[in-house]
Amino acid sequence: MITLAVAASLLIGVLLGILGGGGSMLTVPILVYLADQDTKQAIATSLFVVGVTSLAGLVSHARAGRVRWRTGTLFGLAGMVGAYAGGRVAAYVPDAVLLVAFALMMLATAAAMLGGPRKAPRQVHRELPLHRLLLQGLVVGAVTGVLGAGGGFLIVPALALLAGLPMGVAIGTSLLVIAMNSFAGLAGHISGSHLDWNQALAVTAAAVLGSLIGGRFAGRIPQHTLRTGFGWFVVVMGLFVLSRQTGPAVLALAPAIAAWPLLRRRRAHRTENPPTARAVAPAPEPVTRH
């Protein structure tokens, strides 16, 4: 089974390299269902794997100029505080609760990504104010620490939808934040979890190779394609994890999730293009008698 887990880890790296996220969402299920690790051990191992892989993938994005260093560093520093605290809290949360919360968070994020931005993309990209960067980083870091997710599936939407960064830049910047959050979360987990370092290093090596491959293609894929692919990947993984914990009946949610982006776009279209009011003929001017 570990051989299959290592092979699947190539996909972890490719996803991190191309999408700036998704690797941790795949790492936890791989380690739980293919490598037979318990949930808390898988979460700790995932944080190590994703942290190292993110650093490897960051290199190609930085060389291509797709990293906002100020935004990423401030976001990441705040995230490290939340990640460490979250890692300590996770030791007291039941495994099943962790996995269900993990899946629900993925589905909520996917709905936001597939729905697209509420407004047209801004042409001038600005840095988020300091207080918003720190607050969002702290929240994302806490999720990273508790659930063992590097946070890319939260960081990328935050940077793309809220900070107004181009999708490619948001992805590159997110890798810096993911690495910072992952190592801080690992520090919080390490006291209560035992890592199998042979498995961790084997999975990490395969994931790093995949990230180098994915990074070469990241700048060549249209932003809309990246957003859509990222969103549907999160949907699939979220439903898979949720179904393993609650039963296959949860798959009935799939049609509703698929319809949500269409409904949201239709609502946005109506808001931007209200029905044209019926033209009213002007009243005739009074006739003045001479």
Give the pLDDT confidence score for residue 46 in this predicted structure.
85
Other Cβ atoms closer than 10 A to 55: 18
- Residue carrying the six token digits 């620490």: 145
For residues 96 and 279, what is the distance between their CA atoms, to the nearest angstrom? Answer: 61
pLDDT digits (tens, 9 = 90+) for 105-156: 777 777 766 765 544 444 445 556 777 778 888 888 888 788 766 566 677 7
For residues 157 and 164, what is the distance between their CA atoms, to the nearest angstrom? Answer: 10
pLDDT classification of 100: cutoffs 50, 70, 90: confident
pLDDT digits (tens, 9 = 90+) for 42-52: 888 888 888 88
121 vs 169, which has greater pLDDT?
A: 169
pLDDT classification of 104: cutoffs 50, 70, 90: confident
pTM: 0.69
Contact 181, 83 (CB under 8 A): yes
182 vs 161, which has greater pLDDT?
A: 182
Give the pLDDT confidence score for residue 118 in this predicted structure.
46
Please state the rounded mean pLDDT for residues 243-264.
Answer: 68
Please state the rounded mean pLDDT for residues 11-16.
Answer: 74
Give the pLDDT confidence score for residue 120 in this predicted structure.
40
Mean pLDDT of the chain: 75
Contact 74, 130 (CB under 8 A): yes
Give the pLDDT confidence score for residue 122 in this predicted structure.
47
pLDDT classification of 242: cutoffs 50, 70, 90: confident
Residue 197 has pLDDT above 80, yes or no: yes
| Domain layout of the chain by residue ranges | 2-268
Residue 62 has pLDDT above 60, yes or no: yes
DSSP state at residue 64: T
pLDDT digits (tens, 9 = 90+) for 175-187: 898 888 888 888 8
For residues 3 and 66, what is the distance between their CA atoms, to the nearest angstrom? Answer: 34
Nearest CA-CA partner of 12 in 40, 4, 21? 21
Give the pLDDT confidence score for residue 181 in this predicted structure.
85
Among 28-42, 117-131, 164-178, name the one with the lowest average pLDDT: 117-131
